[in-house]
């Protein structure tokens, strides 16, 4: 390099340094302005708080002569923001010795490409289904370490679910990146196609959930095309099982999470829908097919501070475990926006795929953590991490949990290391 060339390079470096210094100065100025705005907001909030206290006092004085003291307390209390008392069941600590942290079985090289989804069989603990980037659905036998059945879904398999009811336990739902949903039925060593749907029009994220109530089969699907469908089994003259859309629902963004709340407390079964960049959680009544929504901000403002990426209904059906893209999970009652429990200590950012599950006792929750193969387990009562498990060598993409009728816990994990693992309670 000649002297002239060196001088040119040095001049370019100096120019870049000046640009960088200018950008740093501008960023510092913006941070300073934001800090000033935060200070102003804090001051305004304090003023509002003081005014609220004063108004309460004035109201108490104004009506003290007309009603008794007990009535005044009721009226004044009503001015405060709603803060539900945490139910005793969520404050009761459990014994973390029950957690499934013992590696009971391993299936290596379960797929030739990354594993994307997993579902255990609710009524046959020897079976587990997995879906891969290789476009295959496979049903494996834990003990024999063989593939019982396989099915080419034609696209990477993003979601899998065996039906939880014993009468339909061999029905398996598989959802592909191409927007297709496959209803399959396991019969011995074959996965038979019941019906394939292509009612979603955009590739990408896709979700599904089996409905739990009614004498006939049903399920819900949702995807990146901003649409959710509720399907019902048709009743015809033949014995063939077929489905049709009962109703479709349209949203403002990609649907990231879907869950079903079984009938409870004289309420109908509900489908829970969470949408990207949306501060509302949406509820679909599967009996009336009516949709309602609930702002997750208790103050009613339409501000989005996180996206819900996964939702799981508690075993009792009373609570929702919510996974966000903001390094936070939390618990709310069904159809409530009051957060009862918060869980931190894992990683889940804007591009993560958090997956969560309840323990059968409702005293613990479990999650993957972004960018690694670890499991994190929390006590619901204390909100503290009680177990960290190095489960896989690469990213842990999906997990599935159930407790068998004999009380045995089954936790299944699927990873980009192409391995499936079964976890039991330490004996």
> Residue 318's domain is classified under what CATH number?
2.130.10.10
Q: Is 336 exposed, middle or buried (0-12, 13-18, 19+ CB in 10 A)?
A: middle
* pTM (2 d.p.): 0.80
**DSSP designation for 189:** T
Domain identity same for 271 and 403:
no
Residue 282 lies in a domain: yes
Residue 223 lies in a domain: yes
Residue 62 has a pLDDT of 53
Domain identity same for 170 and 304:
yes
Residue 83 lies in a domain: no
Residue 79 has a pLDDT of 36
Spatial contact of 365 and 381, defined as CB atoms under 8 Å apart: no
**DSSP designation for 267:** B
Give the span between the Cα atoms of 378 and 401, in whole angstroms: 15
Domain identity same for 366 and 396:
yes
Q: In order along the chain (427 residues), what is the average pLDDT of each group of 10 residues?
A: 54 62 61 52 50 55 46 37 79 96 98 98 97 99 98 98 97 98 97 98 95 91 98 86 97 98 93 98 98 97 96 98 98 98 97 97 98 97 98 98 93 98 90
Spatial contact of 340 and 349, defined as CB atoms under 8 Å apart: no
Residue 74 has a pLDDT of 37
Domain identity same for 323 and 180:
yes
Give the span between the Cα atoms of 357 and 105, in whole angstroms: 20
Give the span between the Cα atoms of 93 and 364, in whole angstroms: 9
Residue 213 has a pLDDT of 82
Look at residues 386, 385, 392 and name the one whose alpha carbon lies nearest to residue 420: 392
Q: Which domain holds residue 284?
A: 205-259+266-293
Domain identity same for 179 and 251:
no
Residue 15 has a pLDDT of 61
What six digits make up the tokens of 64?
């003290």
Domain identity same for 343 and 330:
yes
Give the span between the Cα atoms of 62 and 289, in whole angstroms: 47
Domain identity same for 199 and 212:
no
Residue 82 lies in a domain: no
Give the span between the Cα atoms of 202 and 343, in whole angstroms: 33
**DSSP designation for 225:** T
Residue 113 lies in a domain: yes
Domain identity same for 281 and 178:
no
Residue 47 has a pLDDT of 46
């Amino acid at each position: 390099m000649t002297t002239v060339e060196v001088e040119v390079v040095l001049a370019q470096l100096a120019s870049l340094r000046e640009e960088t210094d200018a950008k740093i100065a501008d960023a510092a100025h913006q941070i300073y302005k934001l800090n000033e705005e935060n200070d102003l907001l804090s001051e305004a909030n304090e003023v509002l708080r003081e005014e609220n206290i004063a108004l309460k006092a004035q109201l108490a004085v104004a009506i003290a002569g007309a009603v008794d003291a007990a009535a005044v307390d009721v009226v004044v209390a009503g001015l405060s923001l709603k803060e539900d008392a945490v139910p005793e069941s969520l404050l009761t600590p459990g014994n973390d010795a029950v957690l499934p942290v013992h590696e009971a079985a391993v299936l290596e090289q379960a797929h030739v490409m990354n594993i994307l989804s997993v579902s255990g069989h609710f009524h046959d603990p020897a079976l587990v289904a997995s879906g891969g980037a290789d476009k295959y659905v496979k049903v494996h036998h834990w003990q024999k370490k063989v593939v019982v059945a396989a099915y080419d879904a034609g696209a990477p398999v993003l979601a899998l679910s065996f039906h939880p009811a014993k009468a339909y336990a061999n029905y398996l739902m598989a959802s592909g990146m191409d927007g297709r949903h496959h209803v399959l039925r396991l019969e011995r060593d074959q996965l038979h196609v019941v019906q394939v749907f292509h009612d979603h029009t955009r590739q990408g994220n896709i979700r599904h959930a089996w409905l739990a109530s009614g004498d006939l089969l049903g399920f819900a699907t949702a995807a990146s095309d901003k649409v959710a469908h509720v399907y019902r089994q048709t009743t015809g003259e033949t014995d063939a099982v077929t489905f049709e859309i009962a109703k479709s629902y349209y949203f403002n963004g990609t649907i990231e999470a879907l869950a079903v709340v079984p009938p409870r407390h004289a309420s109908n079964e509900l489908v829970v829908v969470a949408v990207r960049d949306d501060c509302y959680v949406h509820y679909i009544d599967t009996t009336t097919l009516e949709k309602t929504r609930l702002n997750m901000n208790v103050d009613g403002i339409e501000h989005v501070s996180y996206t819900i990426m996964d939702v799981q209904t508690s075993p009792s059906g009373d609570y929702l475990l919510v996974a966000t893209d903001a390094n936070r999970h939390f618990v709310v009652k069904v159809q409530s926006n009051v957060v009862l429990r918060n869980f931190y200590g894992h990683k889940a950012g804007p591009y993560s795929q958090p997956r969560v599950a309840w323990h059968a006792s409702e005293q613990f929750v479990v999650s993957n953590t972004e960018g690694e193969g670890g499991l994190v387990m929390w006590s619901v009562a204390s909100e503290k991490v009680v177990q960290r498990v190095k489960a896989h060598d690469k990213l842990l993409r999906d997990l599935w949990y159930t407790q068998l009728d004999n009380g045995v816990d089954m936790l299944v994990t699927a990873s980009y290391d192409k391995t499936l693992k079964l976890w039991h309670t330490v004996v």
